[in-house]
Amino acid sequence: MSEYRATQFPMPHRRDEVIELAYRPWELIGAGRLEDGLACLDDSGTWWAISTRTTTPMAEIKPTLRGAFGLIGPSFEFTDAIVESDRVALMVECRAELPGGVAFHNICTFISRVDLDRGLVVEVREYVDTLHSAQTLLPALAAAGVRTPD
The CATH number of whichever domain residue 137 belongs to comes to 3.10.450.50
What does the pLDDT look like over 90-126, one tens digit per residue? 999 999 998 888 888 899 999 999 999 999 999 999 9
Report if residue 1 sits inside a domain.
no
Report which of 123, 41, 116, 111 is spatially closest to residue 81, judged by C-alpha positions: 111
Report if residue 85 sits inside a domain.
yes
- Distance (Å, whole) CA 59 – CA 11: 33
Which secondary structure element, helix H or strand E, spans residue 77, and what is its range? strand 75-84
pLDDT of res. 58:
98
Report if residue 58 sits inside a domain.
yes
Report if residue 4 sits inside a domain.
no
Task: Name residues whose C-beta falls within 8 Å of residue 105's C-beta, 6 or more positions apart in sequence.
Answer: 93, 94, 95, 132
pLDDT band at 13 (very low <50, low <70, confident <90, very high): low
Q: Which residues of 7-37 are buried (b: 16+ CB within 10 A; e: fewer)?
A: eeeeeeebbeebbebbbbbbbbbbeeebeeb
CA–chain centroid gap for 109, Å, is: 8
Report if residue 75 sits inside a domain.
yes
Report if residue 3 sits inside a domain.
no
Report if residue 9 sits inside a domain.
no
Report if residue 69 sits inside a domain.
yes
Q: What is the tally of structural domains in the chain?
A: 1
Task: Note the pTM of the prediction, 2 decimals.
Answer: 0.83
Task: Name residues whose C-beta falls within 8 Å of residue 51's C-beta, 6 or more positions apart in sequence.
Answer: 128, 130, 133, 134
Q: In Å, how far are 58, 114, 127 from 118, measured between CA atoms? A: 16, 9, 25
Residue 113 domain boundaries: 14-143
